[in-house]
Structure 1
Amino acid sequence: MGDSYIILKTTALKNGSFRHDIHYWLGKDTSQDEAGTAAILTVELDAALGGRAVQYRESQGNETEKLLSYFRPCIMPQPGGVASGFNHVEVNEQEHVTRLYVCRGKHVVHVKEVPFARSSLNHDDIFILDTKSKIFQFNGSNSCIQERGKALEVVQYIKDTFHEGKCEVAAVEDGKLMADAEAGEFWALFGGFAPLPRKTASEETGEETEAAVKLLCFNQGQLEPIGFESLTHDLLETNKCYLLDCGAQMYVWMGRTTSLQQRKGASEAAEKLLTGDSRTKSHVMKMIEGYETVTFKSKFNEWPPTPDLKLSSEDGRGKVAALLKSQGLDVKGLMKSAPVTEEPESYIDCTGHLQVWRVNGNAKTLLASSEQSKFYTGDCYIFQYTYTGEDKEECLIGTWFGNKSVEEERVAAISLASKMVQAAKFQATMVVTH
């Protein structure tokens, strides 16, 4: 928790080139100096790889599903840190402490430690209570079978990693009576059984207010706001770096003719802006001109077709090696890597972003993530799934009709989904299911 890390994920594409994703992960106790250095080093790493990687800022407890998909079954940050020039952290061995974790997710798992108290429990999630001699998995009554299966993998990981495989494991179902021995033992640790409260209406909606979009230009070490009536591609100049602030997401766009120093400066500026505003939950994605992500382009009212800027692997390495050598950096071994010739299989790995809406008359209502797996036969639904394809992000928009749904809502669902496809600033595939 006291450290910062950089993670590089390289994927071989069918055309012989590589796709790079760079993530820098910031523990909640990491120093501001280390966080800033991690942001700069990701820019340098991107430059060494040809300047085509997408960079993601990851904060503890608010990781993207893309990062979580690399680590199976989960990421469980540990207290302490490694001593460095910026930060010296002492780690003391201690007795096993009882800890309570909440697990969320059907495909990748978000694991977060919560206070060891009855008030932390609810009916929607799965909880893991890790004691010295026994690990309890508490399954909320509204959790689904996929979530329970993933949580069981986390239980096994805790057993193998922190108990050397030598402890008991017990499953406790939400609503089981005290007559069940393991349920009784579990509730005794919380001072006895008592019904869990239901969520309030405001908690169930979980809707976030949409922040006003801001565009800032990084110029001579300062961020300057740019006014606009319509957010269009022509606001971006190829010799500058920009920050597109959308509230929960922030994008750093770097023109192709910008220098390495400009890119580092823009990355530092984004880090300082987040730290100054205490926006610990904001995601940051950094990208070079010509290699923008689907989500970034969708923020603009218009985006022209992207020209093919890709270099072959060897051509790209040669140009990067020449650039770094001119800057006095060691390029030994950079030219030796050969592209992977084996073609990976094309498939959807279920680590993309899913949104589901229920159709109400001629309108649609966004469902909370905990409700996305509960379809009713009398309703119609619209879903949007964005995932990483072979060489770009893909989007799938579709409808699902319950066999008892009415014709009017089926027509409305298709109309609403068609409008979503038309509004997307990228190519989307539409499907209809029953």
Structure 2
Amino acid sequence: MGDSYIVLQTTTSKGGSYLYDIHFWIGKDTTQDEAGTAAIKTIELDAVLGGRAVQHRELQGHESDKFLSYFKPCIIPLEGGIATGFKKPEEEEFEKRLYVCRGKRVVRLKQVPFARSSLNHDDVFILDTQNKIYQFNGANSNIQERAKALEVIQFLKEKYHDGTCDVAIVDDGKLDTESDSGEFWVLFGGFAPIGKKVHNEDDLIPETYPAKLYSITDGEVKIVEGELSKGLLENNKCYLLDCGAEVFVWVGRVTQVEDRKAASQAAEDFVGSQQRPKATRITRVIQGYETNSFKANFDSWPAGSTAPGGEEGRGKVAALLKQQGVGIKGMTKSAPVIEEVPPLLEGSGKMEVESGASMAVPRHHCKKRMLVNSIVETAILFFIPTTRVRGKKITFYAVGLERIALR
């Protein structure tokens, strides 16, 4: 939870061009320097990819549905960062963990204190113990969240218990001292009434209101007067579009990298100065590659205004591959679209695993365990899935504040 990560999602449009979404994930205990580095590296990665990626800021506990959809069944952030050190799983003492499981389509899993006071009647909880995993269904919880919790339990069972532990379902309000319910409450010191759900700052939902456009010059944000139209956006400038629940940064095609970095920082400062809820999203779009949610805020947006980029993107990828000594056969115009993502930074480590697998990184290389389905790596990772293989292959590129040499 003390680290930051970069995730790159690559897809192919109907026209054959590559579409990129870059997410930088900020752990709750990430330092300001690490978070700043993640934002800067995101912009640098975008430049390598042709400068047309949509960038998303993801705060731990407030991730977008799009980001969460990459991880099946969910993300399980682990406590600590680089300084926590590395231990082999068999050397670790098993610690009971209590999670609240929310979400009907994508799962939002959050570890909460192992205490009766953490339970409530509205949510579904998962208690992971050494020999048994319990699912506690609050009386007012919905059936979709209960079903999603079972998927998470199956993942925990396979990942941390070698598929051998028992699973028990405990329903709120039903107490039987001879059953799994009795065992469950003994772990909390005995049965006692649980309280109502307590809302805190993390539960605040940002309000959506009519969009306001601001220009960004030298890091300064100034309101732009007039009805929102595409004609207000100049290709040599950066703008901020404030929609309340989401703040967009729009960058013109001819802006410099340093201007783009300054615009991203200005958006961070803007959200902070407004004391917005933590769930406020910040999304950066490039001229010609705007998202539909961005364009929907403008009164007029000409159809077919997307910038061309298929051949340009393939050319950049091919050039980078050739530079790294990788074959570029099949990257021509007539070839089928099969992307081989290039190495992003010289000297960065690389390893490949099949989806669903896990691996241990040697202690002298990286002081953390790395799992495909969990964010548990040192510093910053470029996570690049390839879409051409049914059994998804995943490549991790390690970069960040400390150079890491991986085998």
Provide TM-score, normalisation by structure 1. Answer: 0.67
**Residue equivalent to 1:77:** 77
Give deviations 1:236-261, integer Å, cap 9, x for gaps: 22111112233331111001121122
- Give 1 or 2 for the bigger CA radius of gyration: 1
Q: 1:149 to 1:338 in 2, by over 3 A?
A: farther
TM-superposition CA deviations, 1:38-96 (whole Å, max 9, x none): 111111222222222211111111111111111111100011223xxxxx554677532
Whole-angstrom distance in 2 between the partners of 1:263 and 1:336: 34
Q: Which runs of 5+ in 2 are unaligned?
A: 339-407
Question: CA 1:228 to 1:107, structure 2 compared with 1: closer, same or farther past 3 Å?
Answer: same
Name the residue aligned to 1:255. Answer: 252
70-79 vs 234-243, which deviates more? 234-243
Is the 2:331–2:337 contact (alpha carbons within 8 Å) kept by the matching residues of 1?
Answer: no
State whether structure 2 residue 9 is matched by structure 1 residue 14.
Answer: no
Which residue does the alignment assign to 2:62?
A: 62
2:170 match: 172
Distance verdict in 2 for CA 1:34–1:17, change over 3 Å:
same
Q: Which amino acid aligns with 1:246?
A: C
Q: How far apart are the structure 1 equivalents of 2:10 and 2:259?
A: 25
Name 1:341's counterpart in structure 2. 336
Any idea what the Cα deviations from partners look like across 1:294-319, whole Å, max 9, x if unmatched? Answer: 11122233333342422333x33436
In 1, are the aligned partners of 2:250 and 2:287 still within 8 Å (CA)? yes
2:293 alignment counterpart: 295
CA contact (8 A) 2:213 2:240 kept: yes
CA distance change for structure 1 residues 103 and 265 in 2, over 3 Å: closer, same or farther? same
- Structure 1 equivalent of residue 49 of structure 2: 49
Out of 239, 244, 247, which is 1:242 matched to?
A: 239
The aligned counterpart of 1:183 is: 181
d(CA) in 2 for partners of 1:225, 1:336: 49
Q: What RMSD in Å do the two structures reach over aligned CA positions?
A: 3.4
Aligned ranges 1:258-337 → 2 under 5 Å? 258-274=255-271, 277=275, 279-313=277-311, 315-318=312-315
User: SS of the residue aligned with 1:152?
Assistant: helix
State the SS of the aligned residue for 1:261: helix
Distance of aligned partners of 1:279 and 1:46 in 2 relative to their CA distance in 1, 3 Å threshold: same
2:106 match: secondary structure:
coil
Kindly state the Cα deviation for residue 336 of structure 1 after the two structures are TM-superposed.
5.9
Superposition pairs of residues 123-134 of structure 1, within 5 angstroms? 123-134=121-132
Letter in 2 for 1:109: V
Matched-pair identity in %: 54
Aligned pairs, how many? 331
Task: Give the drift of 1:99.
Answer: 1.9
Residue type matched to 1:341 in 2?
P
1:148 equivalent in alignment to 2:143: no
- Quote the Cα distance in structure 2 between the aligned partners of 1:260 and 1:288: 12
Q: What is the alpha-carbon distance in structure 2 between the residues aligned to residue 334 and residue 182 of structure 1? A: 58
- Structure number with the bigger relative contact order (C-alpha 8 A, sep ≥ 6) is 2
What amino acid maps onto 1:280 in structure 2? K
1:369-416, CA deviations, whole angstroms, 9 ceiling, x for partnerless residues? xxxxxxxxxxxxxxxxxxxxxxxxxxxxxxxxxxxxxxxxxxxxxxxx
Does the CA-based 8 Å contact 2:98-2:125 persist in structure 1? Answer: yes
**Structure 2: how far apart are the matches of 1:78 and 1:33?**
20
TM normalised by structure 2 equals 0.71
Distance 1:179 1:81, change over 3 A: closer
CA contact (8 A) 1:98 1:130 kept: yes
What SS does structure 1 have at the residue aligned with 2:29?
coil
Distance 2:179 2:314 in 1: 63
For residue 225 of structure 2, what is the aligned residue in structure 1? 228
Matched with 1:361 is none
